[in-house]
């Protein structure tokens, strides 16, 4: 099956033309960027252009050091590289029940932290994607829809007040959640640059709860990012290839509004909470690497191979942030 031609909405840092941004992660405080680096080695001549990481809004966080860590890693590759951070901004502390603080954000009690984060992002001379309160409808997060919308808007307003122009905001939905009414969480077109989906079950299982979302994204003229996707419960196995990866790529091929996709290259079995999810690292299966790399050869994927071309396709001017 071929990829259907992508649509263009002229959204912030949307790749113009028939391209899909290729990403992976995730950053871990202990393993740092090992996940990204291992995946990149697997892909050889088709390196991912986006690197996934996560952060929250707390007064004891050093956002300047976080930015420096990102810069050091991104600049460790060739001068022709332009790795783009894709950051999940949590509104709760590690899904800990009752730790959500979207109301605090909405009512201005985290403005200082937002400003520090945005100033740190402004210091990174490249495009950045941030997914505020990702998985907004997930019961594991416990977000109130009213305050979530206000919190998202607050982040956009503080971002503008700091003069941070190199960040694009992604509104990220999880179809595996019980609450499928995503519309009640929508901050509004003026505040959202991209729409996003997190895929953990096979796309076939998620499809009834995402196709309407994809069509609505098109109506709102917003490109869609698959901000997180992993071979949930199959892992990086040949069975996983047949039952998850083939479905994943078919889903992307069939939907013209999808213009970015990030695979979470992670061994979930190391964590008690997610042990049943499997070892989803590509590097754990040489045969799967070949199959996966063959998909990424398609010219529709925007890989990290030409810095100037990337800036042109994303309409990004250096030092605009």
Structure tokens at 144: 């109130």
What is each CA distance from 38 to 52, 110, 152, 205, 278, in whole angstroms?
13, 36, 33, 29, 17
The 10s digit of each residue's pLDDT in 12-47 is 999 999 999 999 998 876 678 999 999 999 999 999
Look up the pTM and report it: 0.96
Q: Where does residue 4 rank: exposed (0-12), middle (13-18), buried (19+ CB within 10 A)?
A: middle
Residue 119 CA, chain-centre distance (Å), reads 20
The 10s digit of each residue's pLDDT in 270-321 is 988 899 999 999 999 999 999 999 999 999 999 999 999 999 999 998 664 4
* Nearest Cα to Cα of residue 230 among 278, 173, 291: 278
The 10s digit of each residue's pLDDT in 49-63 is 999 999 999 988 999
Q: Please say whether the structural domain 20-314 has been given the CATH code 3.40.30.10.
A: no
pLDDT score for 258: 98
Domain boundaries, the chain: 20-314
């Amino acid at each position: 099956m071929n990829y259907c031609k992508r649509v263009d909405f002229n959204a912030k840092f949307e790749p113009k033309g028939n391209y899909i941004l290729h990403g992976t992660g995730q950053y871990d405080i202990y393993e740092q960027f090992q996940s990204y680096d291992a995946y990149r080695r697997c892909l050889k001549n088709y390196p991912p252009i986006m690197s996934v990481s996560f952060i929250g809004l707390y007064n004891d966080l050093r956002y300047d050091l976080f930015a420096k860590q990102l810069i050091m890693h991104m600049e460790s590759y060739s001068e022709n590289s332009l790795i783009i951070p894709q950051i999940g901004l949590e509104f709760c502390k590690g899904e800990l029940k009752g730790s959500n603080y979207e109301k605090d954000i909405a009512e201005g009690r985290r403005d200082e932290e937002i400003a520090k984060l945005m100033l740190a992002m402004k210091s990174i001379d490249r495009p950045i994607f941030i997914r505020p309160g990702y998985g907004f409808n997930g019961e594991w997060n416990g977000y109130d829809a009213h305050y979530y919308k206000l919190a998202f808007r607050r982040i956009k307003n503080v971002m503008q007040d700091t003069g941070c122009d190199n960040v694009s905001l992604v509104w990220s939905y999880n179809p595996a959640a019980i609450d499928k009414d995503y519309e009640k969480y929508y901050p509004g077109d003026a505040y959202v640059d991209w729409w996003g989906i997190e895929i953990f079950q096979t796309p076939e299982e998620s499809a009834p709860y995402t196709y309407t979302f994809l069509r609505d994204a098109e109506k709102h003229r917003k490109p869609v990012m698959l901000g997180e996707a992993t071979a949930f419960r199959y892992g990086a196995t040949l069975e996983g290839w047949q039952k998850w990866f083939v479905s994943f790529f078919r889903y992307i091929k069939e939907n013209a509004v999808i213009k970015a996709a990030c695979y979470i290259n992670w061994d979930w079995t190391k964590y008690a909470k997610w042990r049943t999810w499997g070892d989803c690292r590509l590097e754990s299966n040489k045969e799967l690497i070949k199959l996966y790399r063959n998909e990424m050869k398609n010219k529709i994927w925007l890989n990290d191979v030409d810095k100037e071309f990337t800036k042109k396709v994303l309409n990004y001017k250096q030092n605009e942030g």
